[in-house]
Amino acid sequence: MGTLLQKEIASFFNSFTGYLVIAVFLLITGLFLFVFEGEMNIITSGYASVDGLFILAPWIFLFLIPAISMRFFADEKKSGTLELLLTLPISDISIVSAKFLAGIVLLAIALTPTLLYVFTIYALGSPPGNIDSGATIGAYIGLFCIGGVYMAIGTWISSFTDNQIISFIVSAVVCFVFFMGFDSLATVIPQSFKGIVSQLGIQEHYNSISRGVIDTRDIIYFLSCIVFFLYLTTLNIRKTRK
């Protein structure tokens, strides 16, 4: 699996995709946090906080992560290399895991430069260091959790089609439903079911972690979603092998 993982990571940076994803993410967050006027602007807000980043990132991920995952299997199917890949002495779960982990590595690379925002706030705070470190760490963990779920969903959707555009659009829609759909549904159902329905959505768990409270239930939720969608992807690939 290690060789396949290295191949997948290398393929991102042998094409324009990896660089574009990182550049777009940093450009959008940089503009909102330092250039555009508004509550998210770090310079004019008057608060030592990077909350704007953690508000923006899940929405940006709705487009960037499907842009990463859309090629995982769709490109393999279109080019006819999936059949060749399936003949290699490697299990279906290893193939799926390698593609998923390659996406997570790219996500980590994209998020790493944003630590400069944190260091900037740390240095500019009055007094220096006046930043809620617990909430910041929790929010970063939450971003990785959201990114992981989005990536798992995108990997699953990509296994259905050989069209990257279709994969991108469907993945973005499904990710949006998991991020906002359950909370929206909770507003129109009986009060007794609101809590249960909200707990099914990503936003409820992300908000909890981003406050700096690392609850085991939230971590289990995210890991369960990731494992579930990767399992569905493996079943789909297994059908292709047959």
Query: H or E segment at 171?
Result: helix 164-176
Nearest to 76 by CA among 147, 143, 170, 11: 11
If you average pLDDT over residues 53-64, what whole number do you get?
89
Three-state DSSP at 86 gives: helix
What is the pTM (predicted TM-score) of this model? Answer: 0.89
Confidence of residue 149 (pLDDT cuts 50, 70, 90): very high
Distance of alpha carbon 142 from alpha carbon 149, whole angstroms: 11
List the structure tokens of 64.
């960037």
- Bond before 89 cis per omega within 30 degrees: no
- Helices 51-69 and 17-30 meet at what angle, rounded to 10? 160
Q: What is residue 130's predicted lDDT score, i.e. its pLDDT?
A: 63
- Which of 7-16, 24-33, 153-162 reaches the highest mean pLDDT? 153-162
**Is there a contact between 33 and 41 (Cβ–Cβ < 8 Å)?**
yes
| Interval 152-161: pLDDT, tens | 999 999 989 8
Residue 119 has pLDDT above 90, yes or no: no
